[in-house]
Amino acid sequence: MDLPEGLDWVRGSRPGRAWLATLPTWLAECAERWSLRLGPPFRQAYASLALPADLPDGTSAVLKLQYPDGDSRHEADALTHWDGDGAVRLLAHDPGRRALLVERCHPGTALHELPADRALDVMTGLLPRLWRPADAPFTPLAEEAAGWIDRMPRRWDAVGRPYEQRLLDAALALLADLVPSQGEQVLVNQDLHAGNVLAADREPWLVIDPKPLTGEREFSVVPMVRGPELGHSPAGVRHRLDRLTAELGLDRDRVRAWTIGHTLAWSIAEDVVFPHQIEVVRWLLDG
């Protein structure tokens, strides 16, 4: 298959190679099941194979075949919960194949194409609409964070200790304090960065590709604070932290702490290290 370059990382593990081997069959089966006319894959995909799809009635959609990780397991449930309010609509779902058919955004321009402060204006308008009370089947942030605390030291050691011990110790301590002291639990998204908000015609901007949890509001802005899409620099990270917390009425210290903990937890995937994530942690600890 002509896979996007962003999916090259999955070839590096046995589960990834097994998933790649299933894709041609599942793609053909989904196209037949939903009578889809498919276009070439979107090149910017990183955690799923996504293709433009046209339904027999002319509806424009996107077919997604997800990499079977735990973070995106409840994407369909989150889209159902939001029901098109600030996020793309779910049109169909095949849980066995981890396949989703979702609304296609037109023109589909990513939010990071806007100047950084205009993009933050969009996010301060969108986020309160997404903070809906939720429980099952979504994983609680407390449970997810307990997993990070358990795995981080082992992954750090397994890949050759790619960052300083002090970063690991600080992240573990912050997460241990944050988990039991959370505020009201709402639906939050671990991956709500400026590449996962697209210009659309039904609404000006719609969220795509959620990795949902239930947790406090402070956690929901972490991907926007750390994400390189709006500028990867100490000043850019701190500016996003300051603006989002002030305008959304969030506790800045807790947002900073969640950003340190979650960003370091996501700095290693399988045996791949993401240096830009580690840089963000250093900037927030030292700044």
Known catalytic residues are 191
Show the beta-strand stretches assigned E in 42-117. 48-54, 60-66, 90-94, 99-103
**C-alpha distance from residue 182 to each of 13, 162, 223 (Å):** 35, 30, 18
Report phi then psi at 169, rounded to 5. -60, -40
244 and 250 Cβ atoms separated by less than 8 Å: yes
Show the beta-strand stretches assigned E in the chain. 37-38, 48-54, 60-66, 90-94, 99-103, 186-189, 197-199, 205-207, 212-215, 268-269, 272-273
Neighbouring C-beta atoms of residue 8, cutoff 10 Å: 11
**67/284 Cα distance (integer angstroms):** 31
Q: Sort strands 197-199 and 268-269 into parallel, antiparallel or unpaired.
A: unpaired
